[in-house]
Chain A
Amino acid sequence: MAATSLRRFGRSLCWVSRRGLSTSCDDKVVQQNGKSMNLYSAINQALHIALETDTRAYVFGEDVGFGGVFRCTTGLADRFGKSRVFNTPLCEQGIIGFAIGLAAMGNRAIAEIQFADYIFPAFDQIVNEAAKFRYRSGNQFNCGGLTIRAPYGAVGHGGHYHSQSPEAFFCHIPGIKVVIPRSPHQAKGLLLSCIRDPNPIVFFEPKWLYRLAVEEVPEHDFMLPLSEAEVVREGSDITLLGWGAQLSIMEQACLDAEKEGISCELIDLKTLIPWDKETVESSVRKTGRLLISHEAPVTGGFGAEISASIVERCFSRLEAPVARVCGLDTPFPLIFEPFYMPTKNKILDAIKSTVNY
């Protein structure tokens, strides 16, 4: 990795930037028992713990048996056997339908969809089945043990079908939770919470960070709370809100804005639905400004929902329109990826124009 300067994210966290930009780390506060690891290893560790601590937990999906195309399930089949960790036929609707049935029997069904781009054949199972399983039966049945893992987002060369960020579709389905981690530590703690949460959850993993994000991750079994946003950087002039891989880009914009005398507060939403309005609201009440950034196309993206809610709650406190720096309203384009992306400088420009509104 070229750039290895370090960054601080409120807790001891040291990661290597995915785009060669600066990072920071407070090496004085190294976690006890922590081990430096990348994001896919953190996921792998969470899955080991999930299988270890609950004999009714299962991990399956396309190519999961040999460790998965991103290596997240490495070693699981050897350790826990092929009855609990297995390849499925190439059929996403089958994977999720099967997972719902398995979960409905009181198991933890941890299903992998190879890329978020390929989750759509399972859309019906997620929208009409998983999301309504509890409600339609008057809580006689539920599939709360279901966790769907899927790598999402840009990766530099993924084109249409290896880059998409489909989180907004799933935020429009009452009954499903949507969670996206920003780093290895977060990934491990949030994934374990998702697996053990009594509701079906879609957990999107930022695939660009699988290898590139490295930080100290506690070795032990721990969970991070769902539906709790985290202020990862305090500031007073503007609130920046995002999730997943976009957090590191926003962090860079905060650092640059600081050089120009603008103090940014950065929030990682982490759980997109049901989301932590209170944390966002109290930050916006303090700063009077909000910028939301995500890779998914701006129109109908989850930023729109956040914007509307914050305008409802903080209208009189807002000193500028809510800014959105997001993906373009085009399919994800291979050679145009650098143009499509919500880059640091697009964010920085929006920070300045919002502050100077």
Chain B
Amino acid sequence: MGLSTAINRSSCWSSLTRHKKPPLTSPSTQNPRGPAQNFCDREALFSSYCFESVKAEKESNSLNDVDHSQVLDFPGGKVAFTTEMRFISESPAERAHCYQVLDNDGQLIICSKFKEVSEEIAVKMYSDMVTLQTMDAVFYEAQRQGRISFYATTIGEEAINIASAAALTIDDLVFPQYREPGVLLWRGFTLQEFANQCFGNKADKGKGRQMPIHYGSNKHNYFTVAATIATQLPHAVGAAYSLKMDRRNACVITYFGDGGSSEGDFHAALNFAAVREVPVIFFCRNNGWAISTPTSDQFRSDGVVVRGLGYGIRSIRVDGNDALAIYSAVHAAREMAISEQRPVLIEALTYRVGHHSTSDDSTKYRPVDEIEWWRLARDPVARFRKWIERNGWWCSEAEIELRDSVRKQLLHAIQVAEKVEKSPLAELFMDVYDVPPSNLCEQEKLLRETIRRHPQDYPSDLPV
């Protein structure tokens, strides 16, 4: 694969931009691994779009008309010799294009190919985005008031959260980072459950052991968040291998940030996924920042999407503030992941509009104008609202009612969560192993004696 390939590839991508009609070819003729799928018309267009880029790469690699003495049969396929000493360029002639369906103004871009969304789903998507936005506002405020110890918002990434979740089924497993609570919201985790986790009360499924926003729900196939960056990526691959072995009609999705793509675990995960051919979707939220570190200090590749090529993984870049593009891309990725048993990499271009977390003040390291531009001009929620309004599915009365009711529910949820007592002391020693070993039994006994002697040292809202 040489410079020419890189250029072919990007020009091929550019020929497939929204204003041109992509060539229509049957996916089955280009897909060496799996059978053709049953796509509706729109989907056929969409999938041929996806497959087309792959075909283009394969063709540029075709060695059929090459003199066989000029070819090395090498593990992985034939490699042509060349007398030209040409280094592969470090960057494509043009950056990988970004798939978009709705423009900044929520207008459907002419000729755009996307997966149809019903009114019911679209309205739920919008409502959940608004709920997520409101939850962020209310919980952030609760942290400022000292009622919860920590919080991190998803502002600017509502479409990524909700639209990606909407394109999956509940059987698909989620290995999240920490900025995807919307996926859990979509799956039915209640506002009360979110509040319980943030307040670390007895009803928190994690028993108050982890910091706020470290949600997890077995019932919703959402593996518990860990603060450690990128460690979930290889887990996702292993889990996907299990789905493959069990021949399940499901895939795994794992989310991570631009920062996460620098960790060794990211590279290990992509490589394992490609080699084991597992149904996993790697969803990168490239939001421009890893705390204070801009992507220019993170990588010099054309973002994260191009890493797919390096590992033999099909990939696409999408507008992370365009719910319809995300929905369509994840839907197509899921189909490919499951029917062809292959990993897919999605890079969503977006922006972390909020501070990194409540421990951060991002105006220290980035211009306020930049934040405001993304917050106002590229707000994914407003964009999607315009689209559903144009469809006649939404109106300002519904808007007012929704925002009002969600806010009330949230305020109620935090009031309730605040009053629920904490998990009892015994939970400190449970779950370290399946059953507490003798050292922990002994430590519990000693601790209880200490508490009896010094009750004033211990919080009163935690039953001992």
Q: Which residues of A contact B (CB under 8 A)?
A: 62-63, 65-67, 69, 86-94, 117-118, 121, 157-162, 298-299, 328-331, 333-336, 338-340, 343, 345-346, 349
Contact = CB atoms under 8 A, between A and B. Distances in A.
B38 interface: no
Given A63-B291, A335-B423, A328 B447 contact: yes
A330 B429 contact: yes
Contacts of A162: 211, 227
Main SS of the interface on chain A? loop
Interface string B224-255: 00111110000000000000000000000000
B428 A160 contact: no
Interface string B438-462: 0110010001001101100111001
A65 B443 contact: no
B428 A121 contact: no
A334 B204 CA distance: 12
B432 A334 contact: no
Interface of B: 149-150, 200, 208-211, 214, 226-230, 259-260, 262-265, 290-293, 297-299, 359-360, 364-365, 422-423, 425, 427-429, 432, 439-440, 443, 447, 450-451, 453-454, 457-459, 462
Contacts of A117: 227-228
A336 B440 contact: no
Contacts of B297: 65, 86-89
B227 A89 contact: no
Contact of B291 (A62, A330, A334): A62
A290 B19 CA distance: 78
A91 B422 CA distance: 36
Given A117-B228, A161-B228, A333 B209 contact: yes
B264 A93 contact: yes
Contact of A89 (B299, B427, B454): B299
A160 B264 contact: no
Given A65-B292, A329-B440, A343 B211 contact: no
A331 B230 CA distance: 20
B262 A336 contact: no
A87 B299 CA distance: 12
Contact of B292 (A63, A92, A349): A63
Nearest to B422: A335
B417 to A, nearest CB: 13
A282 to B, nearest CB: 31
Contacts of B427: 336
Contacts of B440: 328-330
B324 to A, nearest CB: 31
Nearest to A122: B264
16 contacts: A66-B292, A66-B365, A69-B359, A89-B298, A90-B259, A157-B149, A157-B150, A159-B210, A161-B211, A328-B447, A330-B429, A330-B432, A333-B428, A335-B423, A338-B457, A343-B457
Contact of A158 (B211, B260, B439): B211
Contacts of A345: 450, 453-454, 457
Contacts of A349: 450, 453
Contact of B262 (A67, A94, A298, A328): A94
A16 B124 CA distance: 53
Given A90-B260, A91-B264, A334 B200 contact: yes
Contact of B293 (A65, A67, A299): A65
Contacts of B150: 157
Which 10 A-B pairs rank lowest in CB-CB distance, beginning with the nearest?
A89-B262, A335-B208, A161-B227, A90-B259, A159-B211, A157-B149, A336-B428, A87-B297, A345-B454, A66-B292
A160 B209 contact: yes
Nearest to B461: A335
A157 B292 contact: no
Contact of A335 (B200, B230, B365, B451): B200
A159 B209 contact: yes
A55 B36 CA distance: 63
Contacts of B360: 69
Q: Which of B260, B297, B425, B453 has the most CB of A within 10 A?
A: B297
B425 A339 contact: yes
Nearest to B257: A90
Given A87-B297, A338-B457, A118 B209 contact: no
Nearest to B211: A159
A69 B209 contact: no
A338 B211 contact: no
B299 A336 contact: no
A94 B297 CA distance: 13
Nearest to B293: A87
B436 to A, nearest CB: 9
B452 to A, nearest CB: 11
Contact of B209 (A63, A67, A334, A346): A334
Contacts of B428: 328, 330, 333, 336, 339-340
Contacts of B462: 335-336
Contacts of A346: 450
Contact of A121 (B264, B298, B457): B264
Q: Which of B214, B263, B447, B451 has the most CB of A within 10 A?
A: B263
Given A329-B443, A335-B200, A157 B211 contact: yes
A88 B294 CA distance: 10
B186 to A, nearest CB: 26
Contacts of A92: 263
Nearest to A328: B443
Contacts of A328: 428-429, 440, 443, 447
A188 to B, nearest CB: 25
A262 B457 CA distance: 22
Contacts of B214: 159
Contact of B229 (A65, A88, A90): A90
Contacts of A159: 209-211, 214, 227
B447 to A, nearest CB: 6
A331 B429 CA distance: 9
B210 A91 contact: no
Contacts of B458: 338-339
Nearest to B448: A339
A299 B438 CA distance: 12
